[in-house]
Structure 1
Amino acid sequence: MSVYTNKTGAPSILKPFSGADRDRAKIAAANQVRFATPKEKGLVECIRIAVEDGDFHLVQEFTYFIRESDLDDDELLKVLTDARKIVHHLTPDFINVVEALMSLNWKKRSLGIIEAYKDFCVDVMVAHNRYLPNGICKLIIHWIPGDLDSAEWVNGNPSERAHTDLKPIHDALNRILTAVPMAFDVVIDAITAKFPYFKKPSHVTAGYLFNVLWLIEYKPVFEELILQLVLQKLLVLDVNAPRDEIDVETNDHDSIEDNVRSQQPSVNHPIGRTLDICLLMLYKFIDGKCRIEPNSCQQSRESANRVFKILLYLFDEVLLPSHNTHHVQFVIFQVTGIRSDYWDGFLQMLWNKVKNPNASAIIRHTAVGYLSSFIARAKFLPLSTITFYLKELSKWAHSYIDDSDEYGQNCSLKANMVFFSVCQGIFYLIAFRASDLTRCTKDLLFLQSLQLSRLAMCHFNPLRYCLAPVATAFAGVTRTHQLAYCHTVLERNARRKLATVYGHDKAMSEETLETFFPFDPYLLKLSNMYIEPNYLVYHDTETGDYAQTVTLPFHRKRGDSEMVEDDEFIVADKRQKY
């Protein structure tokens, strides 16, 4: 290049630079990046000079060297071996070089390098607790699959290569947790912080969940905290995958071709698919923990019971207070189907919650929904259990009526929410389980003993506040078997609402008990394999023509009045939405 540019003749700011000079500059630059001086001295010497003379210049240069250089296997092994020799000298004064060592690219290297890296990380975190947060995060971040690694993770199951890559990470964590008790809190914090965002691809969240559950396998002490975290994260997925969106998608597939629908690997809703895969993994984990073989040892039984008690506690703390959920609550449905002791404990807990006057009305109301929905849907429950809770619910409701003042009592929905919830639960169970409860004369005598007519026609008028499909189905069953005659009450309630509307010349809000039955039909396809065997599908056999004789409010939607569609006991727009 000349001193002047060819086009303008203006002086150039660049000096003449021949090809030979350019080659020499490249060589010099390469040598400069390699940091020849600290490499020759080595890490041990650099640290010795810093410790003895207080000169950190070489340590700083060595840090730049290992960060910027592309080390080959021999160099990397030498660096890690030297670092392990002086691990006790790597105090927090050398945090930069330690973090650089922990950030080395080691995963795709030889087995010797993997072992050397793992040994160094364990040793430095055991020797210096200051490095625990950063070191554990460096390990746990490898739990997160890449966005493009979907082929390595099919339905949350890693390929053989991915599993092999993860094993050293778990080995290192196991050794750290065994040697440093204070690392437990650090691990929990890191797992919580690194949990993937709920809109991440399905294989990313499922891959991370796989590793979280793997941690419990070798450190059961994490069971409660990890399961609580997992349920909380799945709830986020659940509320962002509304059942009406999944339901519409399922109906679209049904309308195209049933065979095509049956071959769908999962739902098409992206967040719903993530939830489906994660629940499949969680069900499999719980089944492996809680299913006890007849010849199991005492330790296995104790372990299974401990996991169930944790799940029952988490249901009370996490799931019961959560509203507008759709599928995560089936975790408790799945585990209770494993042993009779489990469903018995679950029902007792719910019933105690309903009876507890110190609990909030909304929690008691929700507990009634869980109790009635579970008894209605669980195939494995014996008839004796169904009749026991029907009797207990009826006894409680009759006592409530006895203790009230027929003329001075406030009969509003807000003041008597628990009573109306219990009545609706009774009506729902009788309508849903009618075929089981009316098989013989003995069963009908039991239903007569419940004094259903008194409940339905008391001054509180609970049928007025019940969901219309529940009230209609209950009226049909009781009329068919001559247990109560509710049609007059239903028609009077319907006329009262119509009179209100026409009298004010506008649509008034319907005063209806806001309810959801949490074990309504399960729409996820992959994880349904753990739910379907124990799940009872509703089929209307009792209401018949009677359902058409009751006039419901004017704003009723099409298909919203009777329980005549396949297992649509409660339509979507009537479910609980707080």
Structure 2
Amino acid sequence: MGVELRNGEAMGFQELDDADFTDSDLVYHVRDALTSVSMGDSDKYNELVAVMHHRGHLAPDEVALLVTSLKALSGAVSYIDSVLHESLLASIFSMSMWSYRPDVMDALLELIISLAASSGKYVDSCLDMLVGNFTPPPYFTDMLKQPRGIARKDQVLSRVHSSLKVLADLVPLSPMRLLPIIMQRKPHYCSKETTLVIYVENMLKLESGVFGELVRSTMLAGLVDLLLDLDVEIGWDDILQDESAKGIFNMELEDVDEAIDDELMDDGELPKELSRKSLVGNLFAEKLDSLMVLMFEHLESCDVGGRLVEVFETLLQSFQKTVLTAYKSKFSQFVMFYACALDPENCGVRFANMLADTFISNAHPRLLRMSAAAYLASYLSRGKFLPPSLIANTLKRLVDWCLDYSKIQEDDINPKAHRVFYSGCQAIMYVLCFRMRSVMGVPWFKSQLHAPINLILSHKLSPLKVCLPSIVTEFLRQSKAAGLFTTSERFDFDDYLESEFSRAFGGMERLDMFFPFDPCLLKRSDSFIRPSYVYWSMVRPTYDDDQEDSSDEEVDEAPLGGNARSHEGFDLDEFDNALNQMSITPKDSLKHWFGGVKKEPLRMPSRIRPSTSPESL
């Protein structure tokens, strides 16, 4: 073999950079090092492996030698044997592009692409090496806060994705081989936030690129699973501290005292000294917040690109399989909410119909149907972007099912046996507490649903005595003012305080009743959700004589309007203002309402506590 000599001796790799070699000469030199192994001479091969092992800060001559060797290997890939040269391959595949300058990165990627194209047995290893460079090595993480670290990140990731595209063209099966590698390499939810964020950025970039059609379903499902993993790690004990906080719908019982009113903030929420800051510093919450912001931004780009509906369908399938059945999902469901806010006419309607279909279908387990009812009630109540006609039509589907169910029942009150029915009744009342004014403005609503609602709620199954008392009393107040529901019994709000029936349905912990779109407590995520969200403090109940009556809008204009993208520049006032989401019940206020001297009717909260989903789910 034509190996160049100096003074009659074969050149070593350490001397390559000083010699005047052509490209062909370099390739011959590397071939000789590779083939000599099979003849029992490993000296030159070991030198080559040592060059690949160079780590840390490299001197200019070391960088030049590494680039030279990588390029020479690219021209000699057919001489590489997976058994004889195992240590060389291991060194190549373990190289981190984050540690090198662009010229080394380019030479390394040229070798990786050549290896993958030369033999199918190297494809998985090459793909794994590229995916492994999605995230920086641990020592590099802190540098990402500096301009040079950000620049290096762009240099690495742009080259990784370009190489994946080249491989897709050269090896048509590589996209399908890539998918399981990405899912296996996905960091554990306990990994550092920076690692999770960068990896998810790469997953979303692949989803929106040339691999999209092949990887979308699995990729997005994996991302939803990751969000849910983080979500369920956030316990309600991390959020609520006082003992009176137990329960999903404990109320902020706002006294009408002028002194108390004077203490409320301008937006009608709690004074700052009562705000909850327990999620600040919670690592799981901070990770989840960052990843949800990435998802929101990705949904926005999908909307601009005209493919939001396609992506939404994939997310919806994942939602049905995981989030809808998850125990204690607190925030991850807002990915669906935001997608619906971006496209109410398509995604918004589709989501409502899916939830209604799930509740109505007897083919689904009843706990799943109860969960769907809770999601539907919360969604219809909180989505500022939803038109009254959609809300009214969806309510009609619930009312029709509950009416048909009640017609064939001869039982008296039985909270456990008829949980799906009571969930449906509670959903109807909950939505009407928020939306009574607007749906009463739909021409056919009162004429078609007045009688059915009366029949359902007056049935001897007695949903008014079983459902959550705060919902029942608020519904009765509003429906009485609107003339929607009448009862032959004496109207006494005290009849609808906590009873053994409501406790049997949900218990004091309310584990059978939850409202998953209660306000989002995650600071950055909330800035995306807030413009499209209805807070209780925005609702104008029908009994409010101080407000001018309106038939087509039940909430005041939100400060930022209804545009789902108007979160930019929004200031959450150091997280405190974001906590208008939470109701903090003063410990000494409960005695006034349950067995105490105060006899005013229970009111809906201005803020509702974060909810918990059914334990059995």
Answer whether TM exceeds 0.5 for this pair.
yes
Once the two structures are TM-superposed, the CA of residue 181 in structure 1 deviates from its matched residue by 3.5
Specify the alignment match of 2:238 in structure 1.
245
Runs of at least 5 residues in structure 1 that lack an aligned partner in the other structure: 1-34, 292-299, 502-507
Question: Could you tell me the TM-score, scaled by structure 2's length?
Answer: 0.72
* Cα RMSD (Å): 4.1
The Cα shift of 1:286 comes to 0.8
Query: Contact 1:202/1:274 (CA < 8 Å) preserved in 2?
Result: yes
Q: Does 1:229 align with 2:242?
A: no
- The answer to whether the 8 Å contact 1:376/1:536 transfers is yes
Equivalent residues in 2 for 1:168-567 (5 A)?
A: 168-218=159-209, 219-221=211-213, 222-242=215-235, 245-246=238-239, 267-291=280-304, 301=306, 303-339=307-343, 340-404=345-409, 406=410, 409=411, 411-438=413-440, 445-446=446-447, 449-482=450-483, 483-485=485-487, 491=494, 497=500, 514-539=512-537, 542=541, 562-567=602-607
| 1:140-179 paired onto structure 2 within 5 Å | 140-145=131-136, 146=138, 149-150=141-142, 152=144, 159-179=150-170
Give the number of the structure with larger relative contact order, counting CA–CA contacts within 8 Å between residues 6 or more apart. Answer: 2
C-alpha distance in 1 between matches for 2:509 and 2:165: 57
The superposition leaves residues 80-137 of structure 1 with CA deviations (integer Å, 9 ceiling, x where unpaired) of 1221111122232223212223334654444332211111001102222333333333
CA contact (8 A) 2:340 2:351 kept: yes
Post-superposition CA distance 1:517-536 (Å, at most 9, x none):
11111111212232111111
By how many angstroms is 1:175 displaced? 1.7
Other-structure match for 2:78: 88
Give the 3 Å change call, closer, same or farther, for CA 342–567 of structure 1 in structure 2.
same
**Greater Rg by CA:** 1
Shift of 1:140: 2.2
Residue 443 of structure 1 deviates from its aligned partner by 7.6
Structure 1 position 243, deviation (Å)? 5.4
Question: What amino acid does structure 2 have at the position aligned with 1:329?
Answer: Q
Question: Which structure carries more helix by proportion?
Answer: 1
Equivalences, count: 507
Q: Identify if the C-alpha distance between structure 1 residues 282 and 496 changes in structure 2 by more than 3 Å, giving closer, same or farther.
A: closer
Q: Distance in 2 between matches of 1:391 and 1:410?
A: 25
Task: Show the counterpart of 2:31.
Answer: 44
Deviations 1:48-99 (A, max 9, x none): 2346x4x363476246523555670221122112211111222322232122
Please give the secondary structure, in 2, of the residue aligned with 1:386. helix
**Distance (Å, rounded) in 2 between the aligned partners of 1:392 and 1:175:** 52
Q: Distance in 2 between matches of 1:84 and 1:247?
A: 60
Partners of 1:543 and 1:575 in 2: how far apart? 30
CA contact (8 A) 2:359 2:373 kept: yes
1:200-227 deviations in Å (ceiling 9; x for gaps): 3322221221122122232213222111
Of 73, 78, 81, the match for 2:68: 78
Residue 256 of structure 2 corresponds to: none
Q: So what's the TM-score if we normalise by structure 1?
A: 0.76
- Counterpart contact for 2:197–2:290, Cα < 8 Å: yes
Amino acid at match of 1:306: E
What corresponds to 2:19 in structure 1? none
Partner SS for 2:474 = helix
Runs of 4+ deviating beyond 6 Å: 254-257, 550-554
CA distance in 1, matches of 2:301, 2:466: 43
Post-superposition offset of 1:147: 6.6
Give runs of aligned pairs for residues 133-144 of structure 1, distance below 5 A.
133-144=124-135
User: Contact 1:473–1:542 at 8 Å: present in 2 too?
Assistant: no
Higher mean C-alpha deviation, range 478-487 or range 489-498: 489-498
Contact 2:329 2:612 survives alignment (8 Å): no
CA offsets 1:375-416 (integer angstroms, 9 cap, x no match): 111111111111112222111111111122x2xx47533332
Distance 1:465 1:247, change over 3 A: same
* Identical-pair percentage: 19
Deviates more, 1:189-198 or 1:305-314: 189-198
Q: Indicate how the Cα distance of structure 1 residues 37 and 279 shifts in structure 2: closer, same or farther if over 3 A, else same.
A: same
8 Å contact 1:476–1:544 — kept in the other structure? yes
